[in-house]
Structure 1
Amino acid sequence: MPTRAKSHQPRPGKRPRPYGPILLAGLVVLVVALLAGWVLRDPGNQAANAGALPQPPASPGASPGASPAASPARAGASPTAAVAGGTTVAGATTTAVDVYAHAHAGMLSPVVRDDPQLVYVPNLSDGTVSVIDQHTLRVVATYPTGRGPQHVVPSWDLRTLWVNNNVGNSLSPIDPRTGRLAGRAIPVTDPYNLYFTLDGKSAMVIAEANHSVDFRDPHTFALRHSLDVGSRCAGVNHVDFSPDGTYAIATCEFAGQLVKIDLAHERVLGYLDLGRTAAPQDIKIDPAGRVWYVADMNAGGVHLIDGDTLTKTGFVQTGPEAHGLYPSRDGRYLYVVNRGGMMTSDMVPFPHTGDRGSVSVISFTTRKIVANWAIPSGGTPDMGNVNADGTRLWLSGRRSNVVYVFDTGGNGGSDPTTGRLLTEIPVGHEPHGLAVWPQPGRYSLGHTGIMR
């Protein structure tokens, strides 16, 4: 039975305390609290908040005192704290991050919603870009850009596609609203690849031949700081970013290493040796922001890396010359592009021979292969991206002078076991880092369209 409350009688000689006003004040506080809670839970208010456009992070990193080696998700962040570059899910003790939460199907920014659906293919040997209509699967334009174009890279603000004329030492602008060149090329030294920090305040030009990552103004490309990554990172070429943007990891193709970069201070944090014959290529972080996948062309698979500690945790064998990496539109799978060649020397990454290219599909949940898509006639798939709704994977045929279009499987790619090659489209000589546009997302981190 419930215990009866004791009566509070005033002690002898003491004046009774005025409980009436106290009880009345407490009742008022209780009513106000209940009303405030009702307002916070009001579905109408939630709907209004949900309708606001997501905004990019205000700064590339955590507070000045935070270590760049640990992201909030790994460092005991509050279960309801916001994490830059993704969304958070309330939990009992930890924060769950979805790095690609704003890049799913149907999440086109108003900035790109009316852009024509085209594919921009840089033809390395020709110094041109071929433009393909995504619907008709036909080349609708080809125009000269500069010598040795390697990649077509969306700008952070989604308003320009930059052609990286690596040999020509320039960047050519394309207006994605028209699909045409939009002015003169900007002189930039050794632009093999191009990335942007999460806050959009810096462009990162990957100067492969110079062994440097050049931090530049994202609009004028004026040089601010050149970070020398040294001979330990010979062949620096591909990059991805931690969920909070405090650090990046770059691959060092000719040195068989990874380099970790503190973005707040633009300095090297450390290196990871992947082995004497390793030739790391593309790199992608998983949706949870915990595991980094690194394609190794010589090992024929992907290394699994803990980015916070910069240690290797596993390896998944995929196919000859593992090269490009692209998450599915729903964030459940990773498409690993196997270029299909074989080494002619166990010491030198190039040249390679063969044309047994394919795509392996890895589940982010199990970290196992769930499907393989072959190219029946043989081929050399290289770089590309998924289209806006996730139903097609577009890849350049580096040594085949074509573009491959894959069906990603039933229900918008959710069933990769039914994926297959749809067609091959002839383009120029040695097509490389093509861009599929438009892409869902709030902003671009560069390469062929890393969207967050």
Structure 2
Amino acid sequence: MRRSPIRRTAARITHIALSATLALAATLPFARSASANNIIVLNSGEATLSLIDEATQQVVGTVPTGKEPHHLFPTPDNASLIVANSVSNSLLFVDPKTGKPQRWLDNIEDPYQLGFSPDRKWFVTTGLRLDRLDIYHYDGANMTLAKRLPLSAMPSHMAFTNDSRTVIVSLQVSGELAAIDLPTQTVKWKMPVGSAPAGLWMTPGDKYLLVGMTGADYVAVVDWRNQKVVKQIPAGKGTHNFRSLVDGRHVLVSNRVASTISIIDEETLTNVGDITGLLPGPDDMELSADRRYLWVTFRFARHIGVIDMTTRKLVKTIPVGRSPHGIYFYNRAPVTAPNGA
């Protein structure tokens, strides 16, 4: 079917805008060396990403993105970092070390959260605005749409099982989890979990699924094989997203309303400590390669922060753009669970 003149014009405008963005980005300042490690922060309220030099902890550049970049994920070969522009319906590929734009992929509708399955065969995006999940076949270079699966309401974060057969998605408005069978691209089950579930995290061996309950103040522990909530771990109001401490036992969870970060023991399923004294709205987190420093985006403060994990104190704040969300840097501690960055 031929596209209408209006849709052809819209497509031309989109391509012109993307080309102009790449051209503009090429003129912006970047780190002195192509091997430098920059922290990349997505400013979802400004359609930009900020580049921060890890050594000096200073902003060294700003790069335009599409509208509302929320989350990011490295390609399996780590050659690119994918920025999901949810309102612009596009993916921007950037150099994970420098943040320099590489290429665009448009016509990816409403990519909010994104990720690759552990076996690298599937690429999945959640459509928070469009209430659906898009599942793509991935062959190492290309993404081919396999299925657009309606999921109501507001599919948000996701976690893959280690066998790559299942992806579990949080549904923020309906307060549910949905398990999707990837080989058949069908819904296996849905279950109620509580108020505004968001971030998801698999404990070692895929034993339990941890759920950040943004509408409450705890982490829900889910026996996902039997679709049962087996425990609630007290955290802080607005419990939201996770990051491994890479010690084989602990995971961090950000509490956006309480403005704290809780440390969860994955074996005892208990809260073993809270990091306080933070700016409003801690959200996404990254851990330095030496595991000493935790970098955090503060959604409500236009800043990111650096926490010294030896003292659990906020030691630095850095101004960035409006509503900073996703954060990533190349020189980081590895992520030990399959739900990625």
Shorter-chain TM-score range: 0.7 to 0.9
Separation in structure 2 between the aligned mates of residue 433 and residue 390 of structure 1, nearest angstrom: 19
Separation in structure 1 between the aligned mates of residue 326 and residue 245 of structure 2, nearest angstrom: 18
Separation in structure 2 between the aligned mates of residue 147 and residue 438 of structure 1, nearest angstrom: 27
If each structure's strand is expressed as a fraction of its own residues, which one has the higher value? 2
Cα displacement (A) at 1:187: 3.0
For the residue of structure 2 that corresponds to 1:370, the secondary structure is strand
Map 1:182-201 to 2 at 5 A.
182-201=102-121
Q: In the alignment, does 2:66 pair up with 1:146?
A: yes
Q: Rg larger in 1 or in 2?
A: 1
Per-residue Cα deviation, 1:335-391 (whole angstroms, up to 9, x for no partner): 110112xxxxxxxxxxxxxxx401111112222222111125x42111122222322
Which residue among 212, 215, 228 is the counterpart of 2:150?
A: 228
Separation in structure 1 between the aligned mates of residue 315 and residue 105 of structure 2, nearest angstrom: 35
Q: In the alignment, does 2:322 pair up with 1:420?
A: no
Moved more, 116-125 or 180-189: 180-189
Map 1:35-434 to 2 at 5 A.
116-218=36-138, 219-229=141-151, 231=152, 234-275=153-194, 278-340=195-257, 356-375=258-277, 378-409=279-310, 418-434=311-327
Q: Which has the higher contact order (CA 8 A, sep 6+)?
A: 1
Give the counterpart letter for 1:269 in structure 2.
Answer: K
For the residue of structure 1 that corresponds to 2:143, the secondary structure is coil
Q: 1:184 to 1:259 in 2, by over 3 A?
A: closer
Separation in structure 1 between the aligned mates of residue 337 and residue 260 of structure 2, nearest angstrom: 27
8 A Cα contact 1:300 1:317, kept in partner: yes
**Same amino acid, percent of matched pairs:** 29
Give the counterpart letter for 2:158 in structure 1.
Answer: V
Separation in structure 2 between the aligned mates of residue 387 and residue 288 of structure 1, nearest angstrom: 25
TM-score (norm 2): 0.84
Q: 1:282 to 1:402 in 2, by over 3 A?
A: same
Separation in structure 1 between the aligned mates of residue 305 and residue 247 of structure 2, nearest angstrom: 21
Structure 2, unaligned runs of 5 or more: 1-33
For the residue of structure 2 that corresponds to 1:432, the secondary structure is strand
TM-score (norm 1): 0.64
Cα displacement (A) at 1:264: 2.1
Structure 1, unaligned runs of 5 or more: 1-113, 341-355, 410-417
The number of residues matched between the two structures is 306
Give the counterpart letter for 1:365 in structure 2.
Answer: E
Give the counterpart letter for 1:212 in structure 2.
Answer: R
Give the counterpart letter for 1:324 in structure 2.
Answer: N
Give the counterpart letter for 1:247 in structure 2.
Answer: T
Per-residue Cα deviation, 1:54-90 (whole angstroms, up to 9, x for no partner): xxxxxxxxxxxxxxxxxxxxxxxxxxxxxxxxxxxxx
For the residue of structure 1 that corresponds to 2:268, the secondary structure is coil
Cα displacement (A) at 1:270: 0.5
